[in-house]
């Protein structure tokens, strides 16, 4: 696994574990959950703690994506997040990408295995690693409980000219993105 940054604890949320599809379980059982590509991707796990990596937390619990984003279904499984909080979910065995600034969904038409293979082949292009590369050049390292805050947000015209990238605690980024996306989407 390329550039493994963090590997999580053993399973302690067995009820969530039992709900996951076999394809995802096979990957998770071998690796627990992890952060790879120098922090660009967090694969969530069946754990009660830390909550910033709990699949239950964003699937069925407090931070459930389907409760916050009206184009996410309750059955969509949020298995990955990137370091700016964009989400990758399994929907009917295919991967979808949720852009959290705008609520836009991209249907990748890839199975979980195909998605992981593409990410492994060429992570910089396939996963759009440019903001992380900017951050590494200037500051170096992102911690497992942090996300990158991008300002101005990617969906603005100003971001075509310049962006500022800094690491922030995960919940600060979540609160900002949720408030921002509600304004963008007039909800």
Exposure of 102 in the CB half-sphere (CA atoms within 13 A) = 9
Which structure tokens are listed for 142?
């992102």
User: Among residues of the chain, what percentage have pLDDT more than 90?
Assistant: 27
User: Among residues of the chain, what percentage have pLDDT more than 70?
Assistant: 88
Mean pLDDT computed over every residue of the chain: 84
| Tens-digit pLDDT profile for residues 117-175 | 888 888 778 877 777 777 877 777 778 888 899 899 989 999 989 888 888 998 888 88
pTM for the full predicted model: 0.86
How does DSSP classify residue 54?
B
In angstroms, the CA 70 to CA 61 distance is 16
In angstroms, the CA 28 to CA 74 distance is 21
pLDDT at res. 119: 83
pLDDT class of 61 with cuts at 50, 70, 90: confident
**How many other CB atoms are there within 10 angstroms of residue 119's CB atom?**
20
Q: Are 40 and 123 in contact (CB under 8 A)?
A: yes
**How many other CB atoms are there within 10 angstroms of residue 25's CB atom?**
14
Which structure tokens are listed for 116?
């992981």
* Position 107 pLDDT exceeds 90: yes
pLDDT at res. 6: 65
Q: Are 168 and 147 in contact (CB under 8 A)?
A: yes
Query: Residue holding tokens 């903001």?
Result: 131
* Position 90 pLDDT exceeds 90: yes
Q: How far apart are the first and last CA of the chain?
A: 40
- Length of the chain as a residue count: 187
More confidently predicted of 136 and 84:
84
pLDDT at res. 76: 96
Query: CA nearest 149: which of 133, 129, 169?
Result: 169
* Position 32 pLDDT exceeds 60: no
In angstroms, the CA 121 to CA 26 distance is 20
* Position 88 pLDDT exceeds 60: yes
């Amino acid at each position: 696994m390329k550039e493994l940054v963090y590997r999580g604890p053993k399973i302690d949320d067995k009820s969530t574990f039992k709900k996951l599809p076999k394809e995802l379980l096979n990957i998770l059982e071998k690796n627990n959950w992890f952060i790879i590509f120098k922090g660009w991707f967090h694969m969530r796990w069946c754990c009660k703690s830390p909550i910033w990596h709990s699949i239950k937390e964003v699937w069925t619990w407090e931070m459930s994506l389907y409760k916050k984003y009206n184009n996410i279904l309750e059955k969509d499984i949020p298995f990955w997040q990137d370091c700016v909080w964009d989400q990758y979910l399994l929907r009917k065995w295919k991967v979808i990408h949720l852009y959290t600034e705008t609520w836009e969904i991209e249907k990748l038409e890839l199975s979980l295995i195909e998605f992981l293979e593409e990410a492994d082949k060429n992570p910089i292009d396939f996963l759009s690693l440019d903001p992380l590369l900017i951050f590494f050049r200037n500051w170096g390292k992102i911690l497992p409980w942090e996300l990158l805050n991008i300002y101005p947000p990617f969906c603005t015209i100003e971001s075509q000219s310049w962006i500022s990238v800094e690491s922030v605690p995960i919940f600060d980024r979540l609160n900002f993105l949720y408030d921002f996306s509600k304004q963008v989407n007039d909800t």
